[in-house]
Amino acid sequence: MRNYERYLAHLRKIKDLENAMAVLSWDKEVNLPPKGARFRSQQMATLMGLAHELFTAPDFVDNVGELHQDGAALTPDEKRNIALSWMDLDRIRKLDTPFVIRYSELVSDAYQHWLEAREANDFNIFQEPLDRLVGATREKAEMLGYDEHPYDILMEEFETGLRCRELDVLFKEVSNELADFVRAIREKPVIDDHCLKQYFPKQEQWDFGLDLLKSIGYDFAAGRQDISPHPFTINFSPEDVRITTRIDEYSIAQMVWSCIHEAGHALYEQGLPPDAYGAPIGRFISLGIHESQSRLWENNVGRALPFWKAYYKSLQAKFPKQLGGTSLEQFYRAINRIEPSPVRTESDELHYHFHILIRYEIEKSLIDGSLAVKDLREAWHEAYRTYLGLTPADDREGVLQDIHWAHGSFGYFPTYSLGSFYAAQFYAQAVKDIPGLEDRISEGNTAPLLHWLREKIHSQGRRYDAAELCRQITGEPLTMKYFLDYAKHKFGEIYNL
């Protein structure tokens, strides 16, 4: 067997193990009975250890090294795969198998304590497991190595090449120019969104959510939707991509936009090249690009007037008592109400970036040791008072609202803001490239947009890094200009600014 074919076969074994872990992870969050947590943690740690051993096996490392040094006979895609594997190996070989297993166990333990803490509304239950996990994450940063800030190397896992010094510049624009615009909106009368906060029965919400998913192209032959405490997307292959939502019977907005948001993630995964299963180019580029897909569908499409010109009548038909007397214009204004919220996932799309800024600053401080986990609640409350003028009512509304730290996902949060900035830039380009795009959306036809995304982004896998992909699609690097232009145009009209 040719060296490259042996390389691919080995990667597919690793991918099978990773996807077996993903199935266990999905089941943990959707179906796992309370007593199953202890052995589930052990099962996942075992599989993670096996995957790590396979990826760092000497024969595989030698094979990749040889292909990396002498790739004259390889195609461009094959060379890209080898280059990415070599980069991934350089990172992962710095973490030994015992540490990988220990870290997995700490994550599983933290996740279970987070669930208990959320249920009890008491951060103290989560504090010790989180402290152990933060300590291990600092170890991880030291083992991997970094030049400027330990947080840089953690972000590398989610957004290759991203550095704190670059993010600091972007978030400075958030705290300055975006903050000034938001303050101008706050001086306007608050929009009435009572229409969204009536009683909407769970089953009817669920049924409408499924209709929305089908209408924008989510393939139920290659996926399914379930309920979980925190909506998420998970994939086992491009032909099995699953999503979850949550339903509040007194807030239809949670279900609608979590469905659309997760569908954006899932459409990306369903659009990855299946023949590249296991190979690096068969995976998504970065979490910032992944988030651009969910944010583009959720906000640039799903909170825009053209989309609801197509779907509002069907929503009214599903809930005639609740929405029969609410006009499309009133509904559109309600779903775009700008008002600070203490909860990130319930935030409007402008204040949302202050939630990310807060988490970014807190995470950096936890990782460099300038903030202790025992002081986290106090730091959280102080940041919310500073940036949003709010104090969370309790731990569930405050420091326990996100699952990410319980997953060990330090360095993940900044990709949410990056995703919105990429989404605005990509959507602006799509409008230029697709004649009459918004007219088509207003007729209920989002297929041209999905086709454009499949061609430009989904099918590319990891052929390019995020920065290069952005340049190829839009002709320029990522800039906040498009997001600010989009925000000022849309909300300027809504609020008469």
Question: Which residues touch 183 (CB under 8 Å, ≥6 apart)?
Answer: none
Number of domains composing the chain:
2
Q: Are residues 325 and 469 in the same domain?
A: yes
Band the pLDDT of 49: cuts 50, 70, 90.
Answer: confident
Q: Which of 27-36, 60-69, 142-151, 248-257 has the lowest mean pLDDT?
A: 27-36
Q: Are residues 191 and 320 in the same domain?
A: yes
**Domain stops at, among 113, 145, 177:** 145
pLDDT tens by residue, 269-300: 999 999 999 999 999 999 999 999 999 999 99
Q: Are residues 325 and 292 in the same domain?
A: yes
Band the pLDDT of 426: cuts 50, 70, 90.
Answer: very high
pTM of the model: 0.89
The CA distances from residue 126 to 63, 346, 397, 486, in Å, are 44, 23, 15, 39
Q: Are residues 202 and 123 in the same domain?
A: no
Average pLDDT of span 26-51: 88
- For tokens 């690097």, the residue is 477
pLDDT tens by residue, 360-397: 999 999 999 999 999 999 999 999 999 999 999 999 99
**Domain stops at, among 145, 177, 202:** 145
Q: Are residues 303 and 437 in the same domain?
A: yes
- Is the pLDDT confidence value at 1 over 60? no
Q: Are residues 21 and 77 in the same domain?
A: yes
pLDDT value, residue 320: 97
Q: Indicate the average pLDDT of the chain.
A: 94
**Domain stops at, among 145, 174, 204:** 145
Q: Are residues 19 and 69 in the same domain?
A: yes
Q: Are residues 133 and 170 in the same domain?
A: no
Q: Are residues 401 and 454 in the same domain?
A: yes
Is residue 50 situated within a structural domain? yes
Is residue 374 situated within a structural domain? yes
pLDDT tens by residue, 200-218: 999 999 999 999 999 999 9
Q: Are residues 113 and 177 in the same domain?
A: no
| Nearest in space to 150 (alpha carbons), one of 470, 370, 1, 430 | 370
Q: Which of 174-178, 313-317, 483-487 has the lowest mean pLDDT?
A: 174-178
pLDDT value, residue 93: 82
Catalytic residue, chosen from 156, 159, 262, 298, is: 262
Is residue 150 situated within a structural domain? no
Band the pLDDT of 52: cuts 50, 70, 90.
Answer: confident
Is residue 151 situated within a structural domain? no
Average pLDDT of span 449-465: 97
- Is the pLDDT confidence value at 97 over 90? no
pLDDT tens by residue, 321-357: 999 999 999 999 999 999 999 999 888 999 999 999 9
Query: For residue 290, what is the domain's CATH number?
Result: 1.10.1370.30
pLDDT value, residue 229: 81
- Is the pLDDT confidence value at 2 over 80? no
- Is the pLDDT confidence value at 192 over 70? yes
pLDDT value, residue 303: 97
pLDDT tens by residue, 251-275: 999 999 999 999 999 999 999 999 9
pLDDT value, residue 38: 81
Is residue 474 situated within a structural domain? yes
Q: Are residues 137 and 182 in the same domain?
A: no
Q: Which domain range does residue 402 map to?
A: 164-494
Is residue 157 situated within a structural domain? no
Reply yes or no on whether 262 is catalytic: yes
Average pLDDT of span 154-162: 91
pLDDT value, residue 241: 97
Q: What angle (nearest 5°) sits at the alpha carbon of residue 191, between those of residues 187 and 193?
A: 150
pLDDT value, residue 29: 87
Q: Are residues 117 and 185 in the same domain?
A: no
